[in-house]
């Protein structure tokens, strides 16, 4: 029984170590272009970005920027699993 407990603790340690190393690489933020037009203020972003991110199974992380002035802006989204950490 002692060997089983020691093995389980070692296995848990290895699992946590691997998860902590690989999780950031697997769960990088991503961008979404909300339609139909550019975003001109943070107030507009607060209205449009949450829905744009949700349409791609993400959660808006509060960041956005304009890529083509007057034509296109992007919202920065976080994958749902990373938002729990």
| CA nearest to 62, candidates 36, 83, 35 | 83
User: What residues does each domain of the chain span?
Assistant: 2-84
Could you read off the pLDDT of 40-61 as tens digits, one per residue? 999 999 999 999 999 999 999 9
N residues, the chain: 85
Percent of the chain with pLDDT over 70: 61
Quick one: pLDDT band at residue 10, thresholds 50, 70, 90?
low
What does pTM read for this prediction? 0.60
Domain 2-84 coded CATH 3.40.640.10: no
């Amino acid at each position: 029984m002692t060997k089983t407990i020691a093995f389980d603790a070692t296995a848990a340690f290895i699992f946590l170590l691997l998860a902590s190393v690989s999780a950031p690489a697997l769960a990088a933020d991503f961008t979404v272009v909300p339609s139909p037009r550019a975003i001109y203020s943070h107030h507009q972003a607060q209205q449009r970005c949450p829905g744009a991110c949700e349409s791609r199974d993400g959660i808006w992380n509060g960041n956005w920027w304009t890529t083509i002035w007057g034509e296109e802006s992007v919202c920065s989204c976080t994958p749902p699993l990373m938002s729990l950490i």
